[in-house]
Chain A
Amino acid sequence: MVLFEMNLNFNNIKKITLDKTLDLDCGVQLNGFDIAYETYGTLNENKSNAILVFHALSGDQFATETNTVTGKDGWWSYAIGNGKAVDTNKYFVICANVLGGCMGSTGPKEMDPSTGKPYGLNFPVVTIKDMVSAQVHLLDYLDIKKTLSVIGGSMGGMQALQFCTLFPERTFSSIPIACAASHSAQNIAFNELARQAIMADQEWDGGNYLTSGKIPRKGLAIARMAGHISYLSEQGLQNKFGRKLQEKSDLKFSFDADFEVESYLKYQGYSFVDRFDANSYMYITRAMDYFDLYKANNGNLSSAFKNSKIKYCIISFSTDWLYPTAESKKIVIALNAIGAEVSFVEIVTNNGHDSFLVNEPAFFNTLKGFVDSAYEDFKNEI
């Protein structure tokens, strides 16, 4: 059953093959790997205007302008671009597909050189730390020693935090948005629901669907639907859909999509399956689940950021129940405890976790204010 088929073009993906060894957290060594990436704007002469943007679970390197694979707008077109909060007239924005992703970077969908077949479940389990380490090699390749800022929302925020712990000398500032320093039980539970949905689909075929020519559409679509519910707030869903019926005047006493919200979820689910790889979804959710900066620092989050001179701007959203404000505040408190330069804003909104992806003026004002003022300081320092 193909409900929403998209014309996808994977031929124009820009990527580099890095002849480096990546020591993964799981103990496996990755010898050589691909990073697919996009850049926007122009790198200035003293290289003081580079911003590394990290994407979230379902995102990719096409942060703005047109996604050449799907033909749609980049996932952060609201925030990045000509005259936007992150102004590409002024800044050089880099965004890479994460390790384990499915838009050209090395991941379960790509060919395993040792077998000549797609990795599938033979791909090693990667972590947020592995993703960040891979992207630092991209910065080396682009010859950027220190970025003006590293920015990301949700899993992108985790990468922004992780980046600061691993490479404190390589960024002037950091903006972790709608994230947490560790994945909560609730976060893990949602991700497990998603993985179970994928694995329950017979077409998943033990993870070998690419070799056997199948696609676990239903499983991945349900996984995406579950995710979508968690990205929106109760009030947001109510305002948008309420109990409105889908192209009908009365209930049909059947299990077809009577309600608009059902139809919306189906669309979100099935429009996702063409552009996203099911195994990749499993790997990336796993990476998020394993993220725990507390455990990595013996319970002391402050020590993760010790000796860092990075300027932080932590942003949360009032109706985000997936990564609630309290989680951001824990990060703020940990940074305060070591005297770090940290700003924090909780944006009041109905848009839930997804707030950073939609048109949210108060959020953009904060983002722009921080980035522009950081640039004023950094361009003189470098």
Chain B
Amino acid sequence: MKFEDDILSGLIDINSRVLDVGCGDGSLLLHLKKNKRVDGRGLEIDQKLVQESVAKGLAVIEGDAEKDLVDYPGNSFDFAILNQSLQQFYDPRRVVNELLRIAKSAIITIPNFGYWRVRLSLLVKGTMPVTENLPNFWYNTPNLHMCTIKDFHSLCELDNINIIKSISLSSGKIGNIQKSNLEIKNLTSEIGIFLVRKS
């Protein structure tokens, strides 16, 4: 987790205003506050985690991003972070666009359903994949809309969203995703990290 925090932190400007959507216990926000001196805010659905964040001195609101993002004024943040939860929304496309209404840039990370182990698991076993990054069974997974790195790139094209940076992550190795290596990266990456802006 710490490793991913460092990657995300690297994408964020010093002294910027950051909204972490689904901020969990606030550890990333705290990291950003200390290392990037950001003016940070959080939104988190789990009350216990909100309490933990508040106790860290963070400004975190208990709420459901699916419903509550609409209450945030436009362009009020430099960065909105959505860490590994896009696939859990009923309407992920709307959430992505909401993030880019609220913030100039969004940083979105996804577990890549196109990863070869996931594909192989489905192909060989014929059952919904259960892996390190997708640890639940089909009947108890919080994931409603799984997607691949390629799918995310397509959504961005559809909604006129610029991908500023597209980063692959696999077994602790970082790589850059480009148009030329999209197919192979979609196969070899466990996690995709995207820095996006509205065109």
Listed in ascending order, the chain A residues whose CB lies under 8 Å from chain B are 311, 313, 332-333, 336-337, 339, 341-348, 362, 365-366, 368-370, 372-374, 376-377
The range of chain B's interface size is 20 to 34
A342 to B52, CA, bound (A): 15
Given A333-B71, A336-B61, also A370-B50 (CB < 8 A): no
**Docked complex Cα distance between A336 and B63 (Å):** 13
Q: Which of A333, A343, A366, A368 contacts B59 (CB 8 A)?
A: A343
Residue of A nearest to B58 (CB): A343
B51→A342 contact, CB < 8 A? no
Which 5 pairs from chain A and chain B are nearest by CB? A369-B55, A373-B57, A341-B59, A344-B61, A333-B71
Among the listed A362, A374, A377, which residue makes an inter-chain contact with B51, where contact means beta carbons less than 8 Å apart? A362
Q: Which of B53-76 contact A (CB under 8 A)?
A: 53-63, 71-73, 76
Cα-based distance from A225 to B54 in the complex (angstroms): 36
Asked if A342 contacts B61 (CB within 8 A), the reply is: yes
Tally the A-B contacts, defined by beta carbons under 8 Å: 62
CB distance from A174 to the nearest CB of B (A): 13
State the Cβ distance, B100 to closest chain A Cβ, in Å. Answer: 18
Answer yes or no: B160 CB below 8 A from chain A CBs: no
CA distance A363 to B59 in the complex (A): 16
Determine which of A332, A333, A339, A366 lies in contact with B54 in the assembled complex, contact meaning CB atoms within 8 Å.
A366
Residues of B within 8 A of A362 (CB): 47, 51
Q: DSSP majority for the B interface?
A: mixed
Asked whether A343 and B60 contact (CB < 8 A) given A333-B71, A336-B71, the answer is yes
Q: Is B36 an interface residue (CB 8 A)?
A: no
- CB-based contact B62/A373 at 8 Å: no
Q: Are the CB atoms of A346 and B59 closer together than 8 Å? A: no
- Is the CB–CB distance between A366 and B51 below 8 Å? yes
Q: Does B17 contact A (CB under 8 A)?
A: yes
Query: Closest residue of chain A to B77, judged by CB?
Result: A339
Q: Known: A336-B71, A336-B72, A339-B76. Contact between A347 and B47, CB under 8 A?
A: yes
Query: Contacts A332-B61, A373-B57: A345 and B76 contacting too (C-beta < 8 A)?
Result: no
A284 to chain B, nearest CB (A): 31
Task: Tell me the bound Cα distance from A362 to B73 in angstroms.
Answer: 30
Task: Please state if A344 and B62 are interface contacts (CB–CB under 8 Å).
Answer: yes
Q: Are A345 and B73 in contact (CB under 8 A)?
A: no
- Complex CA gap A343/B44 in Å reads 11
Contacting B61 at CB < 8 Å: which of A343, A373, A376?
A343
Q: Please, which residues of chain A bring their CB within 8 A of the CB of B17? A: 339
Contact of A313 with B57 in the complex, beta carbons under 8 Å:
no
A347 to B76, CA, bound (A): 28
Interface residue ranges of B101-140 to A (CB < 8 Å): none
- List chain B residues, Cβ under 8 A from A372: 55
Chain A contacts for B76, CB-based, 8 A: 336-337, 339
Report whether B57 and A345 are in contact in the complex, using a CB–CB cutoff of 8 Å.
Answer: no
- Known contacts A343-B50, A369-B54; is-contact A337 B59 (Cβ 8 Å): no
Residues of A within 8 A of B50 (CB): 343-345, 366
- State whether A313 and B71 are in contact (beta carbons under 8 Å apart), knowing that A342-B59, A347-B47 are contacts in the complex: no
- Minimum Cβ distance to chain B for residue A375 (Å): 10
Cβ–Cβ contact A343 & B54, under 8 A = yes
8 Å CB contact of A336 from B55, B58, B73: B73
Which of B60, B62, B73 neighbours the largest number of chain A CB atoms within 10 Å of its CB?
A: B62
Contact between chains at A373 and B56 (CB < 8 Å): yes
Hey, which chain B residues are within 8 Å of A347, CB to CB? 47
